[in-house]
A and B are shown apart, each in its own frame.
Chain A
Amino acid sequence: MPSASAVTGPSKSATSNQSQSVGGQQLQLVTFGLGSEEFAVDILAVQEINRMMALTRVPQSPPEVEGVINLRGKIIPVVDLRKRFGLAATERNEHSRIIVVEVHNKVLGFIVDRVSEVLRISSTIVEPAPSMVCSVDSDFIAGVGKLEDRLLILLDLPKLFDSGSVGAMTAAQ
């Protein structure tokens, strides 16, 4: 596996101790950026984070599917999250990452502009998503985390990679 390992497990990267709220459930999140916005997903769904690697395009696959990669012998689809959200494409650079997650009992990867950090926040600071908060369809948003200096958009992965949205993401395996 050439470029696999890289940033290995996110748990190894620095855990921020920012925003230690009292009460409520602790959420552990992996945060990443797309354009100017910051997103987060539950760390439990994340299997690993890889540097960009060569993708193999699959003819006639849905446009947001960038291609497939070999993840230790398993062929997994990789989705370009920019395309998924309908954002303008940008050049990939050394900050681009593939976040590998398990959703609906399936493993898939998605490409983000950069991975920021692993964060612990209290669920008390998470509010339900307002209908128009950002560029992303509110259906995919589990909530918005209000940090001191910024907003964090918590993604609902199962909905984001639902059977209806990215082709038939469910089924198989």
Chain B
Amino acid sequence: MAPFFWSKSKSVEEMIENYMLSVDECIQSCSNGIEDYITNGCTDTFITLNKKTHQAESRADDIRREIEFKLYGKALLPESRGDLLGMLESIDNIPGAAEGSINIFYLERPEITEFVKKIIPDLLEVNLEAYSLIRKAVDAILNNPRETLYIDKEIDSRESKADTMQQDIVLSIFKSDLELAHKNQLKAIISSINRISDRCQDSADRMSIIAIKRRI
């Protein structure tokens, strides 16, 4: 019986790796797109990157559904099945947040003031760091789950750093002489970027629970 179980779960593992590759692409396109927008405005490159972000998010969604279908086909123990489904759904919020963030730039074409332009790359970097740790956490869950607990702490520190940066930026925005509508628009943009690290934190917590549950 073992080779049969082996091949089924192996295929789920491979599908998760494919899923994460799509999420990687989504997050990277989003980050590149936003950086391009704040440097050059709404160029063709930005529009292409926005489209790539959307396509990668859709592809990730499709792969996730395929994995769910496979999991419902009894490839795993019920508790592992539930844990994996929960993990994937929580990870799926991350590309969702990235897509939502770049889409605000595409739909609203906001005017980014100079002091905000300087801060956004740093904010993006911290959010990307949080995501790269999620990538590590997924690898840990699939290989050595105990490590997930340490990674969760690191993600928590990135999320806190991103929150502090958000507070400072929003404070600066509302101290400035910009129109109230413009202030609110910039605030919404900053929040939408930071949603990536928020979702990373939620997902890391979920993975930590999976690792803790397997401690006997």
Whether A and B are associated in the same complex: the answer reads: no
Q: Which residue numbers of A lie inside 8 Å of B, CB to CB?
A: none
